[in-house]
C-alpha cells in the first residue's frame, strides 16, 4: 500500500518537475532565434515548406542572409522584411517582380545554379508544393 506520505512526495516531485520544465521552456523560448527555423507558405498551389536553418547553417548549405534577403546592407540583419512587403501579389510596377515570381525566381534559380555542384534543391512543382 502506498502511504499518504509517499503520495505527498510523489505529488511534490511532479509539481517541481513541472515548474522546472516550464521555466526551461520559457527561458528557451525567450531566446528567440534571429531567424525563423522553418517556414510554411500556405498557398493555392499547395503548401511549401522552407527550411531556413538548413539553408543557412554551416552544417547545411551555408548560404548567407544576403543570398536571399537581397536588399540588406553587408552585415546587417535587423532590417529583414518579408519578401511580400516589396513583392506584392498584384502590382503594376514592372520593375519589381510579383510575389510568386520573386519566390520562384529566387528559389528555383538558386537550385538550378547548384545543379552542377554537390546537390541541388527541388525544381519540380510537386517537390516544393507538397500538400
Ligand atoms: C535561402 C534563402 C534564405 C536565406 C539564406 C536566409 N533567408 Fe531569411 N527568409 C527567407 C524567406 C523565403 C523568408 C520568408 C519571407 C516571407 O515570408 O516573405 C525568410 C524570412 C526571414 C525572417 C522573417 C521576416 C519576417 O518579418 O517575417 C527573418 C528574421 C529572417 N528570414 C532572417 C534571416 C537571417 C538572419 C538569415 C541569415 C542567417 C537568413 N534569413 C537567411 C529566405 C532566406
Ligand atoms: C525592401 C524591398 C524588397 C524586399 C524586402 C525584397 N525585395 Fe526582391 N527586389 C526588390 C526590388 C526593388 C527589386 C528590383 C531591383 C533589384 O533587382 O534590386 C527586387 C528584385 C528581386 C529579384 C530579381 C533578381 C534580383 O535579385 O535582382 C528576385 C528574384 C527577388 N527580388 C526576390 C526576393 C525575395 C525572395 C525576397 C525575400 C527573401 C525579396 N526579394 C525581398 C525589393 C525587395
Ligand atoms: C541561394 C541558394 C538557394 C536559395 C535561394 C533557395 N535554396 Fe533551397 N536549396 C539550396 C541548396 C544548395 C539545397 C541543397 C540540395 C542538396 O543538398 O541536395 C536546397 C534544398 C532545398 C530543399 C530540399 C531539402 C531541404 O533542405 O528541405 C527544399 C524543399 C528547398 N531547398 C526549398 C527552397 C525554397 C522553398 C526556397 C525559396 C523560398 C529555396 N529553397 C531557396 C539552395 C537554395
Ligand atoms: C523551390 C520551390 C518551388 C518550386 C519548385 C515551385 N514553387 Fe510555386 N511557389 C513556391 C513558393 C515559396 C511560393 C510562394 C508562396 C506564397 O506566396 O506564400 C510559390 C507560389 C506559387 C503559386 C502562387 C499561389 C498563390 O497562393 O498565390 C503558384 C500558382 C505556384 N507556386 C505554382 C507552381 C508551379 C506550377 C510550379 C512548377 C512549374 C511551382 N510552383 C514550382 C515554391 C516553389
Cα–Cα distance, 59 to 90 (Å, whole number): 37
> Measured in angstroms, how far is the CA atom of residue 124 from the centroid of ligand 4?
10
Same domain, 5 and 67: no
Cα–Cα distance, 25 to 19 (Å, whole number): 10
- Tens of pLDDT, residue by residue over 115-126, are 767 667 899 999
pLDDT higher than 50, residue 97 = yes
Residue 85: per-residue pLDDT: 94
What is the domain extent for residue 68?
Answer: 38-128
Residue 2: per-residue pLDDT: 65
Does this model's pTM top 0.75? My answer is yes
Cell reading at 103 = 519566390
Same domain, 53 and 28: no
Same domain, 15 and 66: no
Q: Whose CA is nearest to atom 39 of ligand 2?
A: 83
Best mutation site among 45, 47, 90 for ligand 4 pocket (most ligand atoms within 8 Å of CB): 45
Same domain, 25 and 48: no
Residue 40: per-residue pLDDT: 94
Cell reading at 114 = 547548384
Enumerate long-range contacts of 100-104, CB under 8 Å, 24 or more apart.
Answer: 103/41
**Nearest ligand to the C-alpha atom of residue 89:** 4
50 lines ligand 3 (CB under 6 A): yes
83 lines ligand 1 (CB under 6 A): yes
Residue 28: per-residue pLDDT: 52
- Tens of pLDDT, residue by residue over 65-89, are 999 999 988 878 788 999 999 999 9
Residue 76: per-residue pLDDT: 83
Same domain, 48 and 104: yes
Same domain, 61 and 103: yes
Same domain, 63 and 10: no
Mean pLDDT of the chain: 84
Q: In Å, how far are 19, 20, 48, 78 from 14, measured between CA atoms?
A: 9, 10, 40, 41
Q: In Å, how far are 39, 57, 91, 99, 105 from 87, measured between CA atoms?
A: 18, 26, 8, 5, 12
Specify the CATH number for the domain of residue 81. 3.90.10.10
87 with 98: CB under 8 angstroms?
yes
- Tens of pLDDT, residue by residue over 28-74, are 544 445 778 899 999 899 999 999 999 999 888 889 999 999 998 88
> Measured in angstroms, how far is the CA atom of residue 68 from the centroid of ligand 2?
8
Same domain, 7 and 57: no
Same domain, 82 and 111: yes
Amino acid at each position: 500500500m502506498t502511504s499518504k506520505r509517499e503520495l505527498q512526495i510523489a505529488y511534490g516531485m511532479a509539481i517541481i518537475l513541472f515548474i522546472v520544465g516550464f521555466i526551461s521552456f520559457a527561458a528557451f523560448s525567450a531566446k528567440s532565434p534571429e531567424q525563423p527555423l522553418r517556414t510554411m507558405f500556405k498557398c493555392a498551389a499547395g503548401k511549401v515548406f522552407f527550411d531556413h536553418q538548413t539553408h543557412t547553417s554551416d552544417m547545411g548549405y551555408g548560404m548567407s542572409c544576403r543570398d536571399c534577403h537581397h536588399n540588406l546592407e553587408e552585415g546587417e540583419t535587423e532590417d529583414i522584411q518579408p519578401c511580400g512587403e516589396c513583392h506584392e501579389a498584384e502590382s503594376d510596377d514592372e520593375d519589381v517582380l510579383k510575389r510568386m515570381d520573386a519566390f520562384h525566381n529566387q528559389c528555383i534559380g538558386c537550385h538550378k545554379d547548384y545543379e552542377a555542384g554537390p546537390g541541388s534543391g527541388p525544381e519540380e512543382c510537386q517537390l516544393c508544393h507538397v500538400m
